[in-house]
Amino acid sequence: MPSNPFPLSKERLLEVYRTMRTIREFEERLHVDFSRGDIPGFVHLYAGEEATGTGILCHLGDGDRIASTHRGHGHCIAKGVDVGAMMKEIYGKKGGACNGKGGSMHIADLSKGMMGANGILGAGAPLACGAALAAKYRNKGEIAITFVGDGASNQGTFLESLNLAGVWNLPVIFVVENNGYAESTSRDYAVSVDSFVDRAAGFGLPGITVDGTDFFAVYEAAGEIIRRAREGGGPSLLECKTVRFFGHFEGDAQTYRPEGEIENARANIDCLKKFAAQVTSQGVISAAELEAIDKSVLALIEDSVVKAKAAPLPTEADLTTDVYVSY
């Protein structure tokens, strides 16, 4: 048996792979089902960015809280929200995470510390500050994390939250998921600094930039700043450079992307392929073990779609439930 050079046990590495594969297959399936007209509303897919959400959120427990974005499915899955409940929610059905009232952009599960996806850019940052303030008072070492895109990082709410977190020394982490675009606007056109670490420095916060498609790079950087936050060392910013495999939203023709960009990303900077190559080349996990996970994940997704399609729609009598306080 070869020795394990990774910072996680074999069992945990398999769990991480399962999480990333579940996110990928969830999104690949939504892409197909949306194009068939099966899914109501608006859908933004996270495929390509799995190592970022997973590398960060695998450090957290249910008592840690996160505030997500419009591209939130990956965060939900990595935070432990039930995939079947998510699928029903996206299909707008009873039994969904919010009983079909929220859809893709409002999935929440407070029992898992998932405060919600959010259709308002930058709106998660003040929520995470609030959760971090509560955690500070509870004094149990819990933290809060907010995700924000490169585009949404220009929102006043986000910048004000960096300042507030610094002033109150909150146990909060600001994760910038820099996938290079805000809708069709490139990051280089719309963001005034080369590195988001410089923005954090403007508010007195430490920051780190990592390759968001390398699970182990994300895991290590996140581990360090999460530990610091738990120990009272205050807030930080983590920039993860990543890539989205699909359009901004489902239906986006993506005419603003250079030819070959997506094909190149899928072939050469696919975080799942990278992870598989890393763990198999060290002999810690076999290709057959990964394939077995792939198979069981596909079965899980198929089952979740079958059940979502069969589930009833909310009725008129459900109109005012699950909207504000009960989930």
Please identify, among the stretches 22-30, 41-49, 96-104, 175-183, the one whose residues bind Mg ion according to the rule CB under 5 A: 175-183
Q: Tell me the CA distances in angstroms from 48 to 103, 283, 290, one per residue in order.
A: 22, 25, 18
The H-or-E segment that residue 201 falls in is: helix 196-202
From Mg ion, ligand TPP, none, interface partner of 70 (C-beta below 5 to 8 A by class): ligand TPP
DSSP character for 314? P
181 forms part of the interface with ligand TPP (CB under 6 A): yes
Question: Residue length, the chain?
Answer: 327
DSSP 109-160: BGGGTB----SSTTTHHHHHHHHHHHHHHHTSS--EEEEEETTGGGSHHHHH
149 forms part of the interface with ligand TPP (CB under 6 A): yes
Structure token pair of residue 6: 């990774």
**Which residues are within 8 A (CB) of 99 and not within 5 positions of it... i.e. 6 or more apart?**
89, 314, 318, 321, 322
> Least separation, in Å, of the C-beta of 69 and Mg ion?
9
- Return the residue nearest ligand TPP (CB atom): 149
User: Exactly one of 70, 106, 136, 199 binds ligand TPP (CB under 6 A); which one?
Assistant: 70
> Least separation, in Å, of the C-beta of 148 and ligand TPP?
6
150 forms part of the interface with Mg ion (CB under 5 A): yes
> Least separation, in Å, of the C-beta of 122 and ligand TPP?
6
Tell the residue number behind the tokens 């799995």, with chain if given. Answer: 50
Please identify, among the stretches 114-122, 172-180, 278-286, 313-321, the one whose residues bind Mg ion according to the rule CB under 5 A: 172-180
Bridge partners (DSSP) listed for residue 239? 176, 209
> Least separation, in Å, of the C-beta of 258 and Mg ion?
16
Which C-beta is closer to ligand TPP: that of 213 or that of 304?
213
User: Exactly one of 54, 179, 236, 304 binds ligand TPP (CB under 6 A); which one?
Assistant: 179
Q: Residue numbers of the site for Mg ion (CB under 5 A)?
A: 149-150, 179, 181-182
